[in-house]
C-alpha cells in the first residue's frame, strides 16, 4: 500500500503541475485573443448592418424621427434587433450634412431623440475615415458614459457615395465580464484535470504495484472455469512471473481450443437440424435461400453471405443478401460483384474458392444440383476493422489451406479462435477448415432443395406458356373453394379459349400458333394480380384463371379487360403479324355452384354461349329458363 501511495503522489504531483501550467497558458491565450475576437465580431455586425439597410431610403429620412414613415419604422426595428441579438451597447446610423454628424436612427429603446449630433471635430478618427469610404475600422474610445469598443463602416449608395456611417459599440464592462467567464472556465478545467490526474495516478500506480496480485487474480479466473480469461502481466514484472503468466495462458489456450472445437461440432449439428426444419416449411425459393444464408452467417460468424445465380452473374445484380445484424447491406452490394473472376472460376470448375489475400476475405462455394451448378454462395469476412493491416496468408486457391505453422502467442491464438456466435476479425482470422466444411454442408442442402423445387416447378408448369398445368389447376381450384367456404367469400373462375384457333394453325402453322399461345400467356400474367390470381393452361388453346375473393361483377371487369388487351395486341414472330380474339365464360362460387366440377362445367357452358353469340365476348353463366 505504501508503494502505491508513493507512486500516486509522484505521478499525481508531476501531472498536476503540468496541468496547472497548461491551463494557465490556455487562459492567457484566450484572455489575449478575447478583445481581438470581439473586434472582429463588431466589424462583422457593422458590415452586416451596412449591407442590410437601403441607402436610397436613408437619404430621405428627416429629423426629428420620421415615425409616420413605414420605412423608417422598419429601419428602427432592424437596428433594435441587431442590438439585442448581438448583446451590443449601441447600434446607430449617422449622416454628415457638411457641418454635423446627425443621428438617423439607433437601436436604443429610449428613442432617437436620445442620440446626439456631433461636429466633425468631436467624433473619432475612425468615423472620419468611414466618411471617406474606408471600412473595417475598430477602435476604443471613452466618453461620459464609459469606455467602449467601437466599429464604424460606411453605407454607400449605388454610385459609391457615402450616405451614412454605421456605429456599433460594445461596453468595456461586457468585455470584463467575458474575461471573468474565461477565467472561471479555466479554473473549472484545471480542477477537472486535477481530479482526473489523481484518478489516473492511482490507477497507474495500482497497475505497477500489483504484478503478483494480477497473476493471482488471473489464476483464480482460470481455476473457476473461465478459459477465455487472459492472465495479464504487469509492465516491469520479474522474469519469473512473466514466465509463469505465459505458462498459464498457454494452458488456457490449449483447453479453450479443445472446448471450442467441441462446441463448434455441437453448434453445427444443431444448426443443420434447425435448417432442415426451416427448409421443410419454406413457402418459396427466396425463403429457402435466405434461410441457408442466415444460418451460414449465424454459425460461421462471417459478416455477409450472398447467393449469386448464373443469371445474376451475367447482370451482376445479386438479389439475395443476408448481412450480420451490425452490418449495413450496402457495404457488400458492390463487393459481391467485384469478385467476378473467382465466381466464374467456381461456376466453371465446381471447386471451392478461398481468398485470404485481400480485405475482406471471401469464400465461394458452388451450389450443386444434380449435374448442374445453378449458382454459388459467397461468404465474406469482416469489414469492421478494415483499417487493420496484415500480411496475406495465401492467394486465392481452389481448396482450403491450413494456417501458418509459426507459433503465435497465447493471446493471439485465443483471439483467433472461431467460437460459435462470435464474429471474428476477417483481417487476422481467415476462414478455418471447420467454417468452410460447415458452409459447404449447408450449401449442399441448398442444392438439394433447389433441385427439388426445380423438378416440382417442371411438374406443375406448362413448358410453352409458363402457366400452371391442368392438374395443378384442379387442385388449386379445390383449395380456393374450401378457403372461400371457410371465410364466406366468393371465388370466380374464368374459362376461355382463342377463337378459331384450329383454322389459325391450319393457316399460319403450328409454330405461329405457339407464338400466339406464349404471348397470350404473357398478357394474362400482366393482367391478373401477382401472388393471388392463378392462371393455368387448361388444354390446347384453352386457359383458366382463378380469381380468389372476387365476385361476379369484378370477375366480368377482369375478363373484359383481358379480352380487350388480347384483341388489341399484335402477335408477331418477326415476320408475320396477326390479331386474335378470345371468348370468356365466367362462373362464381357459391353463386353458381357449390363444388369444383360444377363450377368448371358452368364456366364452360358460359363459354359455349359466347361461341354461339358470335365469339370475342364475355358471358356470365345464367340458368336456362
Specify the CATH number for the domain of residue 274: 3.30.450.40
Higher-pLDDT residue of 338, 348: 348
Domain boundary among 412, 437, 456: 456
* Range in 21-25, 55-59, 113-117, 380-384 with the lowest mean pLDDT: 113-117
In a domain, 488, yes or no: yes
Tally of CB atoms within 10 A around 293: 25
Query: Average of pLDDT values for 377-399?
Result: 50
pLDDT at residue 188 in the model = 79
Torsion of CA 172, 175, 179, 180, to 10 degrees: 70
Lowest mean pLDDT of 172-186, 259-273, 390-404, name the range. Answer: 390-404
In which band, very low, low, confident or very high, does the pLDDT at 538 lie, cut at 50, 70 and 90? very high
Residues 412 and 467 in one domain: no
CA distance 423 to 429: 10
What distance in Å separates the CA atoms of residue 95 and residue 175, rounded to the nearest whole number? 29
- Residue among 500, 499, 496, 498 at smallest CA distance from 604: 496
Question: Which of the given ranges, 81-95, 383-397, 530-544, has the highest pLDDT on average?
Answer: 530-544
The pLDDT of residue 516 is above 90: yes
Q: Within this chain, do residues 417 and 469 fall inside the same structural domain, yes or no? A: no
Least confident among 197-201, 255-259, 373-377: 197-201
**Among residues 37, 20, 21, 22, which one has the least CA distance to residue 179?**
37
- Mean local confidence (pLDDT), 360-368: 80
Kindly list the catalytic residues: 541
pLDDT at site 532: 93
324 and 268 belong to one structural domain: yes
332 band by pLDDT with thresholds 50, 70 and 90: low
Peptide bond into 264 cis (omega under 30): no
Same domain membership, residue 284 and residue 431: yes
| 442 and 356 within one domain | yes
Q: Nearest-CA neighbor of 149 among 33, 40, 76?
A: 40
Average pLDDT on 361-387 reads 73
Residues 407 and 344 in one domain: yes
Is the per-residue pLDDT at 266 higher than 80? yes
**Residues 466, 452 share a domain:** no
Give the separation between CA 286 and CA 371, rounded to whole angstroms.
22
Distance between CA atoms of residues 387 and 394, nearest Å: 19
The predicted pLDDT at position 519 comes to 95
For residue 494, the model assigns a pLDDT of 97
Mean pLDDT of 370-378: 79
Structure confidence at residue 564 (pLDDT): 96
> Is 363 contained in some domain?
yes
Contact 127, 152 (CB under 8 A): yes
Evaluate whether residue 210 is within a structural domain: no
Domain that residue 323 falls in = 256-456
Q: How many CB atoms lie within 10 A of CB 575?
A: 6
Same domain, 403 and 311: yes
Query: What is the domain-level CATH number for residue 508?
Result: 3.30.70.270
- Strands 582-589, 491-498: pairing is antiparallel
Give the lowest-confidence range in 21-30, 89-98, 272-281, 414-423. Answer: 414-423
Tell me how far apart the alpha carbons of residues 482 and 133 are, in angstroms, rounded to a whole number: 93
Quick check: is 571 in a domain?
Answer: yes
Average pLDDT of the residues in 480-485: 96
pLDDT score for 6: 64
Dihedral of the CA atoms 385, 390, 393, 394 (nearest 10)? Answer: 80
- Residue 490 is predicted with a pLDDT of 96
Mean pLDDT of all residues in 103-117: 65
Domain match, 169 and 23 both: yes
28 by DSSP, 3-state: which?
helix
Q: Which residue has the cell 448581438?
A: 86
Rounded average pLDDT over 254-280: 79
243 is a domain residue: no
- Show which of 129, 161, 177 is a domain's final residue: 177
Of 173-177, 260-264, 477-481, 587-591, which range is least confident? 173-177
Mean pLDDT on 31-55: 78
SS3 of residue 305 by DSSP: strand
Pairwise CA distance, residues 90 & 111, whole Å: 12
- Has residue 552 got a pLDDT over 60? yes
Q: Is residue 518 domain-resident?
A: yes
- Is 611 exposed, middle or buried (CB count within 10 Å of its CB: 0-12, 13-18, 19+)? middle
Q: Are residues 441 and 470 in the same domain?
A: no
Number of domains present in the structure of the chain: 3
In 3D, which of 176, 234, 182, 175 has the Cα closest to residue 204? Answer: 234
What single-letter DSSP state applies at residue 579? Answer: -
**Of 456, 473, 499, which closes a domain?**
456
Residue 353 burial (C-beta neighbours within 10 Å; 0-12, 13-18, 19+)? buried
User: Which is it for the CA torsion 390, 394, 400, 405, positive or negative?
Assistant: negative
Q: Do 222 and 214 touch, CB atoms closer than 8 A?
A: no
Q: What is the pTM of this model?
A: 0.47
What pLDDT sits at residue 394? 37
Residue at 209 is within a domain: no
> Residue range 170-176: average pLDDT?
73
Assigned domain for 231 exists: no
Q: 3-state DSSP call for residue 429?
A: coil
Average the pLDDT over each of 184-188, 282-286, 382-386 and give the range with the smallest value.
382-386
pLDDT for position 427: 38
**Same domain, yes or no, for 63 and 93?**
yes
pLDDT digits (tens, 9 = 90+) for 63-75: 555 666 777 778 8
Same domain, 383 and 396: yes
CA distance 458 to 451: 11
Amino acid at each position: 500500500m505504501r508503494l502505491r501511495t508513493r507512486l500516486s503522489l509522484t505521478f499525481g504531483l508531476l501531472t498536476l503541475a503540468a496541468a496547472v501550467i497548461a491551463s494557465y497558458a490556455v487562459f492567457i491565450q484566450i484572455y489575449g485573443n478575447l478583445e481581438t475576437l470581439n473586434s472582429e465580431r463588431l466589424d462583422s455586425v457593422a458590415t452586416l448592418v451596412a449591407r442590410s439597410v437601403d441607402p436610397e431610403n436613408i437619404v430621405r429620412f428627416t429629423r426629428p424621427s420620421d415615425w409616420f414613415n413605414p420605412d423608417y419604422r422598419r429601419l428602427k426595428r432592424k437596428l433594435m434587433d441587431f442590438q439585442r441579438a448581438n448583446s451590443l451597447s449601441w447600434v446607430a446610423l449617422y449622416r454628415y450634412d457638411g457641418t454635423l454628424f446627425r443621428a438617423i436612427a439607433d437601436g436604443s429603446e429610449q428613442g432617437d431623440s436620445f442620440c446626439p449630433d456631433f461636429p466633425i471635430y468631436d467624433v473619432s478618427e475612425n468615423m472620419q475615415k468611414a466618411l471617406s469610404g474606408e471600412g473595417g475600422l475598430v477602435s476604443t474610445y471613452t466618453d461620459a458614459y464609459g469606455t467602449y469598443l467601437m466599429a464604424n463602416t460606411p453605407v454607400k449608395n449605388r454610385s459609391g457615395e457615402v450616405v451614412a456611417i454605421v456605429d456599433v459599440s460594445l461596453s468595456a464592462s461586457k468585455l470584463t465580464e467575458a474575461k471573468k467567464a474565461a477565467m472561471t472556465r479555466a479554473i473549472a478545467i484545471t480542477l477537472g484535470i486535477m481530479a482526473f490526474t489523481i484518478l489516473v495516478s492511482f490507477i497507474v500506480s495500482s497497475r505497477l504495484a500489483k504484478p503478483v496480485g494480477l497473476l493471482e487474480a488471473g489464476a483464480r479466473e482460470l481455476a473457476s472455469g473461465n478459459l477465455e480469461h487472459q492472465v495479464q502481466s504487469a509492465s516491469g514484472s520479474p522474469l519469473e512471473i512473466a514466465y509463469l503468466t505465459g505458462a498459464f495462458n498457454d494452458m488456457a489456450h490449449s483447453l479453450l481450443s479443445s472446448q471450442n472445437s467441441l462446441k463448434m461440432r455441437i453448434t453445427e449439428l444443431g444448426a443443420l437440424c434447425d435448417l432442415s426444419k426451416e427448409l421443410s416449411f419454406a413457402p418459396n425459393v427466396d425463403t429457402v435461400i435466405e434461410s441457408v444464408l442466415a444460418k451460414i452467417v449465424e454459425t460461421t460468424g462471417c459478416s455477409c453471405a450472398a447467393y449469386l445465380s448464373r443469371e445474376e452473374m451475367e447482370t451482376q445484380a445479386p438479389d439475395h443478401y443476408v448481412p450480420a445484424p451490425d452490418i449495413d447491406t450496402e457495404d457488400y452490394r458492390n463487393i459481391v460483384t467485384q469478385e467476378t473472376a473467382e465466381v466464374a472460376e467456381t461456376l466453371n470448375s465446381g471447386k471451392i474458392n478461398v481468398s485470404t489475400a485481400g480485405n475482406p476475405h471471401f469464400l465461394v462455394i458452388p451450389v450443386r444440383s444434380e449435374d448442374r451448378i445453378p449458382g454459388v454462395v459467397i461468404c465474406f469476412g469482416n469489414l469492421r476493422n478494415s483499417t487493420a493491416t496484415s500480411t496475406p496468408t495465401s492467394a486465392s486457391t481452389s481448396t482450403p489451406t491450413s494456417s501458418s505453422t509459426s507459433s503465435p502467442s497465447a493471446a493471439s491464438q485465443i483471439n483467433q479462435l472461431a467460437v460459435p456466435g462470435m464474429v471474428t476479425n476477417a483481417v487476422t482470422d481467415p476462414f478455418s477448415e471447420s467454417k468452410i466444411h460447415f458452409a459447404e454442408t449447408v450449401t449442399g442442402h441448398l442444392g438439394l432443395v433447389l433441385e427439388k423445387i426445380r423438378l416440382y416447378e417442371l411438374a406443375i408448369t406448362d413448358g410453352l406458356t409458363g402457366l400452371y398445368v391442368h392438374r395443378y389447376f384442379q387442385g388449386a381450384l379445390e383449395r380456393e373453394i374450401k378457403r372461400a367456404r371457410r371465410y364466406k367469400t366468393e371465388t370466380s373462375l374464368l374459362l376461355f379459349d382463342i377463337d378459331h384457333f384450329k383454322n389459325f394453325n391450319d393457316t399460319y402453322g403450328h409454330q405461329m400458333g405457339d407464338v400466339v399461345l406464349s404471348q397470350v400467356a404473357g398478357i394474362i400474367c400482366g393482367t391478373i394480380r401477382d401472388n393471388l390470381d392463378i392462371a393455368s393452361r387448361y388444354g390446347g388453346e384453352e386457359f383458366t384463371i382463378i380469381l380468389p375473393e372476387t365476385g361476379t361483377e369484378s370477375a366480368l371487369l377482369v375478363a373484359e379487360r383481358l379480352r380487350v388487351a388480347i384483341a388489341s395486341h399484335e402477335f408477331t414472330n418477326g415476320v408475320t403479324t396477326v390479331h386474335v380474339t378470345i371468348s370468356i365464360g365466367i362462373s362464381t362460387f357459391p353463386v353458381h355452384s357449390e363444388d369444383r366440377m360444377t363450377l368448371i362445367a358452368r364456366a364452360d357452358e358460359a363459354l359455349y354461349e359466347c361461341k354461339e353469340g358470335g365469339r370475342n365476348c364475355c358471358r356470365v353463366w345464367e340458368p336456362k329458363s
